[in-house]
Amino acid sequence: MSDKLIQFEIPASFIEARARLTPRELHYGFRNDWISDKGVVQLAMGNIVNEIEPMQTVESLSLLLSDELYKVRDLIDGLVSDEIGVWVYLTVAWVCENPSAFDDDPFKTIEMLYADFDYPTAMEPFIPFMPPPADSTPGIAGLEQRLREYLTGCWEQYHVARSPE
């Protein structure tokens, strides 16, 4: 039995339209029951990419000038693989696009995902009980706006940036 507050399976077709996964991300999604055996095979047939982010970080580090060494601390975290980030995005996107499967209250389900993923900072701007970021729109309109911005940014990060040119 899972100790998660919420669990559901995401179809491979949904994932393909929103993200290109690294092998580690595919493994994480399967091991955490976000994707089926059949979905893994479908994604493996054409949706897997090499892990390019660490090499981009290495390149950025190698190009730092002596007066930019203060950037090392932030950049070095890019060398660690983050399999969870794409699954936070995909699960939130699934909830938002299928609200009727979640009692038409996506924010309640998103709060449960927030706990299940161990409270990722990326989700804080659209968690109803968290204070809104400074200079942002308050209330449900602000939550919805920040959620849309998050989904758009993740789509660009996990799909657009990883797609072959």
Q: What is the pLDDT of residues 31-87, one digit of tens each?
A: 999 999 999 999 999 888 876 666 677 788 888 888 888 888 777 766 666 789 999
Is residue 61 within 8 A of residue 72, CB to CB? The reply is yes
Q: What one-character DSSP code corresponds to residue 70?
A: G
Which residue(s) pair with 21 in the sheet?
A: 48
CA dist., res. 70 & res. 92, Å (int): 34
In this prediction the pTM is 0.81
Identify which has the larger pLDDT, 153 or 47.
153
Lowest-confidence pick of 9-23, 46-60, 77-91, 139-153: 46-60
Lowest-confidence pick of 6-15, 68-77, 101-110, 114-123: 68-77
Output the six-digit token pair for 163.
Answer: 């797609």
CA dist., res. 87 & res. 118, Å (int): 13
CA dist., res. 10 & res. 149, Å (int): 21
pLDDT tier for residue 1 given thresholds of 50, 70 and 90: very low
